[in-house]
């Protein structure tokens, strides 16, 4: 049995990407600019932290939109996730969410999943006077490449710990925790699977690994 689990949120616990969802609330040109920035980051032409800030400055999400995104995270929660987390918690497993998403949008999902806010590690934003979140609040390690590894190292997790996620930033945890599992129930990225010690498509399958069979 694993004593701690680190989970990604976007395309792992929930079947959406928060930034894309916020961009989709804007017109097509905004969505296109955001998609271009994302692909520039994936190609390595710009760093993740620069892209993160630029995307936010283009989308300029309002407080109301971030609340709507929070509701979407719950509405699109991956089937079986909530029940699995309840079983892990009952078995004494520590659970942390480590996400590049917006913390304000993730807290209601954490409440719904029964995870304390102190176990939610994400990106804080600054709201301006009009209630627009146009800037990341520094320091924001989770808005940068290498941020997940940096944050997880500071958590002093009990061993053995397992991490699960769909993205390249999650795969950075492969050398930090005792086991990294690729979660491919929403999207399957072969380069992430290649770095993982296992692949699961459901939280029931993940539970079998976490709790031991
Ligand atoms: Mg993800």
CA of 129 to the centre of ligand 1 (A): 31
pLDDT of 111 higher than 80: yes
Mean pLDDT of the chain: 95
In tens, the pLDDT along 89-106 reads 999 999 999 999 999 999
Asked if residue 18 lies in contact with residue 102, where contact means CB atoms within 8 angstroms, the answer is yes
pLDDT grade, residue 85 (50/70/90)?
very high
CA of 8 to the centre of ligand 1 (A): 5
In tens, the pLDDT along 40-73 reads 877 778 888 889 999 999 999 999 999 999 999 9
Integer Cα distance of 147 and 52 in angstroms: 13
Please give all residues whose CB falls under 5 A of ion ligand 1, grouped by chain where several chains appear. 8, 10-11, 166-167
Asked if residue 200 lies in contact with residue 181, where contact means CB atoms within 8 angstroms, the answer is yes
pLDDT of 151 higher than 70: yes
Q: What is the pLDDT of residue 42?
A: 72
Q: What is the mean pLDDT of residues 152-166?
A: 97
CA of 21 to the centre of ligand 1 (A): 13
CA of 184 to the centre of ligand 1 (A): 10
pTM, whole model, 2 decimals? Answer: 0.95
CA of 134 to the centre of ligand 1 (A): 22
CA of 152 to the centre of ligand 1 (A): 16
Q: What is the pLDDT of residue 114?
A: 97
CA of 193 to the centre of ligand 1 (A): 13
CA of 140 to the centre of ligand 1 (A): 17
CA of 188 to the centre of ligand 1 (A): 11
pLDDT grade, residue 16 (50/70/90)?
very high
Q: What is the mean pLDDT of residues 78-96?
A: 98
Structure tokens of 125? 């934003």
CA of 27 to the centre of ligand 1 (A): 24
CA of 157 to the centre of ligand 1 (A): 21
Q: Which long-range contacts (CB under 8 A, 24 or more apart) does 32-41 make?
A: 33/58, 34/58, 34/59
Q: What is the pLDDT of residue 213?
A: 62
Integer Cα distance of 77 and 92 in angstroms: 23
């Amino acid at each position: 049995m694993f004593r701690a689990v680190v989970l990604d949120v976007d395309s792992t616990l929930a079947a959406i990407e928060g930034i894309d969802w916020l961009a989709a609330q804007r017109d097509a040109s905004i969505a296109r600019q955001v998609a271009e920035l994302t692909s520039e980051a994936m190609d390595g032409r710009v760093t993740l932290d620069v892209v993160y800030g630029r995307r936010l400055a283009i989308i300029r999400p309002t407080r109301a939109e971030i609340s709507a995104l929070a509701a979407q995270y719950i509405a699109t929660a991956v089937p079986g996730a909530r029940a699995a987390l309840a079983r892990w918690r009952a078995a004494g497993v520590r659970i942390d969410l480590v996400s590049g998403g917006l913390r304000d949008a993730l807290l209601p999902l954490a409440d719904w999943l029964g995870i304390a806010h102190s176990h939610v590690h994400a990106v804080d934003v600054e709201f301006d006077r009009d209630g627009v979140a146009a800037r990341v609040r520094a320091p924001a390690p989770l808005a940068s490449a290498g941020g997940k590894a940096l944050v997880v190292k500071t958590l002093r997790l009990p061993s053995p710990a397992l991490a699960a996620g769909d993205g390249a930033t999650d795969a950075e945890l492969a050398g930090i925790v005792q086991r990294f599992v690729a979660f491919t129930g929403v999207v399957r990225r072969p380069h992430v699977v290649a770095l993982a010690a296992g692949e699961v498509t459901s939280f029931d399958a993940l539970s079998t690994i976490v709790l031991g069979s």
